[in-house]
Chains A and B, each alone.
Chain A
Amino acid sequence: MTTSITRREVEALSAYLDGQLSEKERIRLERDLQLRADLRALLEDLQRTRGLLRSQPMLRAPRNFTLTPQMAGVKTFKPARRRLVPAISLVSVMAAALFMLVLVGDLVSFGRKPELLQLASQSVPLPMEVEAPAAYEARSLDSRVATEAPPPAEAVAENAFALTTPTPTLEATSQALSLAEAYPPPEAGMAKSADATRDIVTTPTLLTPYPEPLPTMVAQADELPAEELSAEELPAEELKEVETQAQRPPIQTRWNTWRLAEVALGLMALSFGALAYFLARSSRP
């Protein structure tokens, strides 16, 4: 029945149902509909089909499709916290760099300790020239008094660490040696000799430090007379002063300062790094 109906006529019938034809097209189609039964039949079919489709209800959504911030990709992190992350990371990196610097410095200086320890063990008591002024005086006093026992092993080790410190100076020590040699054993010159030596050695020196003791200095120290002075001849006040200076552990304190700096910097780098990581992770959108 519809075989004689063209595609153009079908489109016109469909549009006619929707009121989408122009006035001219509508008049022409209505005239054709009066003349042709096949067109009228098709129009009725299309009208029913259209009616069936339009009878279908508008569906209700089974759930709400509102968006959560996460679905929408909205950033909910706190900007202030986010902005802190680079600064904290920088502090962490700087602390780590300083830590490495201090660690390397410490390791380099520590690398010299074995030879120094060996050097120290060859002549016990240790050569006084390479010790700090206070330790030198204490040891010379000990040798003068000659009443105490030889230094224990710990003291030797401690003195070996002292070798690494730059406190004594070549000039000061050389002067002390020459003065000690200039005052030979005769008892009469002992007090003077001791005074002169003490004056020079205990004088605070701000000269350039040297890292290692010279072998010649060690040899000279071995030749020093062991009992130059007697304790009775030293004034009591001076003796006390010398003892006080001898009790000070400057080298040990400095060694601890290095370790403390390493630990502090290491902890700082770790804690700030962890804080930056936590902040970056928690403020991730």
Chain B
Amino acid sequence: MDEMALIQSAQRGDLEAFNRLVLHYQDVIFTQAYRMMGESEAAEDATQEAFISAYRSLRTYRGGSFKAWLLRIVTNACYDELRRRKRHPTTSLQPLDGDDDEIETPRWLRDHSESPEEQTERHELGTAIRHCLDDLSPEFRAVVILVDIQGMDYGEASAVTQTPIGTIKSRLARARMRLRDCLGGLWELLPAKYRLFIEDRP
């Protein structure tokens, strides 16, 4: 895919070219929205809104990483929605499990090659991380998602959040410290493959 050619076509109003870009980036954008919002429906709304907004403001794109540009749009959409929710808090209509936790685990998140025990462990880990991320402020959450989940470097994260690299560095360190405190001794409970994964990576 010649990304630049598609972007230029889309800038000239070629919706089909833009939709090819959407198909290429929708997983990345949805992941960012899901980690920011913590629930699937809100993430879908934010993702769709971000792509619509991106198409309408495509002429303001002046080169650079298109992925970072899209991530900035979806992150800002999530900020807006989270701010709106803070002003007008609502009660979720999602069913609750026995521990009063909202049942997450959408079907597309499940890995069918896993055993039921592994699925349960992964579900628990995912729920714990989500809760810990939710405890962070949106600005800290955005940085830790961009760097540790999306795998961006500090420069890209800085471009997405439009903050200096020093701020990224500071926010990331503080966010990791809070997550460490939040997750506690969870990693002793992790399956072997996660422990190995952790030890293999610097």
Contacts and interface: CB of A to CB of B under 8 A. Distances in A.
A10 B27 contact: no
A187 interface: no
Contacts of B23: 64, 66
Given A10-B174, A10-B177, A18 B201 contact: no
B27 to A, nearest CB: 5
B61 interface: no
A72 B48 CA distance: 11
B34 A72 contact: no
Contact of A56 (B40, B126, B153): B126
Nearest to A63: B44
B26 A49 contact: no
Given A47-B202, A52-B187, A14 B148 contact: no
A65 B73 CA distance: 15
Interface string A101-126: 00000000000000000000000000
Contacts of A80: none
B154 A18 contact: yes
Given A47-B202, A53-B148, A67-B22, A14 B169 contact: yes
A49 B179 contact: yes
A18 B168 CA distance: 12
Contacts of A61: 26-27, 29-30, 47
Interface stretch (B11-19, B82-90, B92-100): B11-19
A53 B175 CA distance: 12
A271 B135 CA distance: 66
Contacts of A15: 154, 169, 173
A83 interface: no
B51 A65 contact: yes
B198 A59 contact: no
Contacts of A54: 148-149, 151, 197, 201
B183 interface: yes
A22 to B, nearest CB: 12
Contact of B51 (A17, A62, A63, A67): A67
Interface string A67-98: 10101111000000000000000000000000
Given A10-B173, A10-B174, A52-B183, A62 B194 contact: no
Contact of B106 (A18, A45, A62, A65): A62
Contacts of A19: 202
A102 to B, nearest CB: 49
B144, B148, B172: most-surrounded residue (chain A CB, <10 A): B148
Interface string A1-34: 0000001001101110111100000000000000
Contacts of B170: 11
B12 to A, nearest CB: 12
A47 B198 CA distance: 7
23 contacts: A7-B173, A7-B174, A11-B170, A14-B173, A20-B153, A20-B169, A50-B148, A52-B125, A52-B129, A53-B129, A53-B149, A53-B179, A54-B149, A55-B125, A55-B197, A56-B126, A56-B129, A59-B27, A59-B31, A59-B108, A62-B106, A71-B48, A74-B13
Give the top 7 A-B pairs by smallest Cβ distance, nearest first: A51-B198, A14-B173, A53-B148, A66-B19, A11-B173, A61-B30, A61-B26
Interface of A: 7, 10-11, 13-15, 17-20, 45-67, 69, 71-74
Given A52-B186, A64-B26, 13 more contacts: A10-B177, A18-B153, A18-B172, A46-B177, A46-B180, A53-B148, A57-B111, A65-B26, A65-B48, A65-B51, A66-B22, A72-B56, A74-B13
